[in-house]
Amino acid sequence: MSRELSDLKKNLKEATAAIAADPLYIEGAWSEPTFTSTEAAIQSMLECLKNNELGKALRQIRECRSLWPNDIFGSSSDDEVQTLLNIYFRHQTLGQTGTYALVGSNQSLTEICTKLMELNMEIRDMIRRAQSYRVLTTFLPDSSVSGTSL
């Protein structure tokens, strides 16, 4: 998932630069129809990402931000690429718990995964040790019981 998202991020950044450099691109002049719901918009964006229509996905995120400000599509101050990555990641990991992805790291993903596995093993061992501890109760003398010695 990390590699897939890293590649998508790189390609989206390139598409953003291409749109910015296009003298014919006019902000707000999209040819796509206005979406009737956020669900329809998300599905359309996911299709664009799947079909490598990244410029279209970027234009759609801009349209959706004007239709639904500060919703799942973020606000105009949020990074469009990051928002699309978040939407894509959520869709790809539906129903899965504990899924994560590292994007944009300078370190090797293999190195990071190895370190995370080591930390996971340490945490697992700590939990096992903690579960094996028994609560020891201390028996204090009960003042209501009188003792006799023979």
Question: What mean pLDDT do residues 114-122 have?
Answer: 90
Between 80 and 100, where is the model more confident? 80
Per-residue tokens: 148: 């006799």
pTM of the predicted structure, to 2 decimals? 0.64
Contact 5, 88 (CB under 8 A): yes
SS3 90: helix
- CB < 8 Å & 24+ apart, contacts of 48-54: 49/8, 49/84, 49/88, 52/11, 54/11, 54/12, 54/14, 54/15
According to the model, what pLDDT value does residue 42 have? 93
Vertex 18 angle, CA 33 and 56, to 5°: 20
pLDDT average, residue stretch 85-109: 78
Q: Please, what is the average pLDDT of the chain?
A: 81
The answer, yes or no, to whether residue 89 has pLDDT greater than 60, is yes
| Annotated domain spans of the chain | 1-93, 105-140
- Which of 69-78, 91-100, 129-138 has the lowest average pLDDT? 129-138
Distance, in Å, from the CA atom of 110 to the CA atom of 39, rounded to the nearest integer, reads: 36
* Mean predicted confidence (pLDDT) in 71-98: 87
Residue that the structure tokens 């699309």 belong to: 84
Distance CA 8, CA 5 (A): 5
Question: Percent of the chain scored above 90 by pLDDT?
Answer: 36
Rounded Cα distance, 31 and 116, in Å: 45
User: What pLDDT is attached to residue 142?
Assistant: 60
**What are 7-64's pLDDT values in tens digits?**
899 999 999 998 888 766 555 555 555 788 999 999 999 999 999 999 999 999 988 9
pLDDT recorded at residue 50: 93
CB contact at 8 A, 45 and 91: no
pLDDT score for 1: 77
